[in-house]
Amino acid sequence: MRKWGPAVLSAVLAVMLAFAVTGPASADKRPRQKTPSKIVYLTFDDGPNSMNDPRLLRILAREQVPATFFVLGNLLAADRQRATELWLAGHAIGNHTWAHPDLTFLSPAAIHHQFASTQRLMGPGAGACMRPPYGATNSTVSNVANGLGLKQVLWTVDPQDYAHQNAAYLTTYISSRVHDKAIVLMHDGGGPRGATTSAVKQLIPILRARGYEFRTVPSCRVPLKGSATDAAKPKVRKPEPVVPDEPVPTPSAPAGMAP
């Protein structure tokens, strides 16, 4: 027995070594780790808009997708109930100024008025964020906003939906450029947005299949009514009525003022 000892020991060590290298089971049998979710923020500017919002909100509600709406004070003044509806539907509401000026041409006092007067009309769902029209900003604009507790939110994906009213184009543009934590700029106001709404409808399943989750922009606050996703659940699930992609232009805002 003693003379076989080294040979047996060598064999045992060889088996142990092989076991250590290959492991007790192949890697394929280990439980797969869930792929981390990616986040995308859908944002809509230049509303509220009585022509475009109803269909857009129906789609978002049915898909339980929360979004962020950057509203204009002068339009909100004529439709104050709209902010409450957005809030109750689980969406975040951001400040897009009162009258959509280029803020970089205004005095600090005028900039303050643009934001403060709008913020007052936004109701209990008012977010703590602003988006300067045209993305035009400077240190004066951001300082005034900071003084009001508003964080500046721009965007990372701009399909220029005001210039490309084609749902297929918008869907392809956005889906090919989206990335984790992408902020997608679209418009629910400023003109007919049937193509934008149709693109949203097409994009949601495409992005979900690629692992994206939809959230509201954090600084625009999630409504108090539970999570945005829960709040966005429709009470009654019913099919969306067929609406043409290109509704007649809305008279509530001048064309060509996007973004």
The least CB distance from residue 145 to Zn ion, in Å, is 15
Query: Using omega within 30 degrees of 0 as the cis cutoff, is the peptide bond preceding 48 cis?
Result: yes
**Which of 45, 53, 161, 188 touches Zn ion (CB under 5 A)?**
45
Catalytic center residues: 45, 187
**Which of 133, 159, 191, 192 touches Zn ion (CB under 5 A)?**
133
Candidates 24-32, 102-110, 126-134, 219-227; binding stretch for Zn ion (CB under 5 A):
126-134
The least CB distance from residue 230 to Zn ion, in Å, is 29
- Compute the distance between CA of residue 140 and CA of residue 161 in angstroms, rounded to an integer: 29
94: contact with Zn ion by CB under 5 A = no
Residue nearest to Zn ion (CB): 45
Instruction: Classify residue 124 by its DSSP letter.
Output: G
Residues in the interface with Zn ion (CB under 5 A) total: 4
The least CB distance from residue 210 to Zn ion, in Å, is 28
What are the angstrom distances between the C-alpha of 143 and each of 50, 94, 104? 33, 17, 12
**Which of 46, 53, 161, 188 touches Zn ion (CB under 5 A)?**
46
Please check whether residue 60 is in contact with residue 88, taking contact to mean a CB–CB distance below 8 angstroms: no
- Compute the distance between CA of residue 24 and CA of residue 9 in angstroms, rounded to an integer: 21
Please check whether residue 165 is in contact with residue 199, taking contact to mean a CB–CB distance below 8 angstroms: no
- Compute the distance between CA of residue 207 and CA of residue 199 in angstroms, rounded to an integer: 12
161: contact with Zn ion by CB under 5 A = no
Encoded amino acid at 218, one letter: P
Contact set with Zn ion (CB under 5 A):
45-46, 133, 259
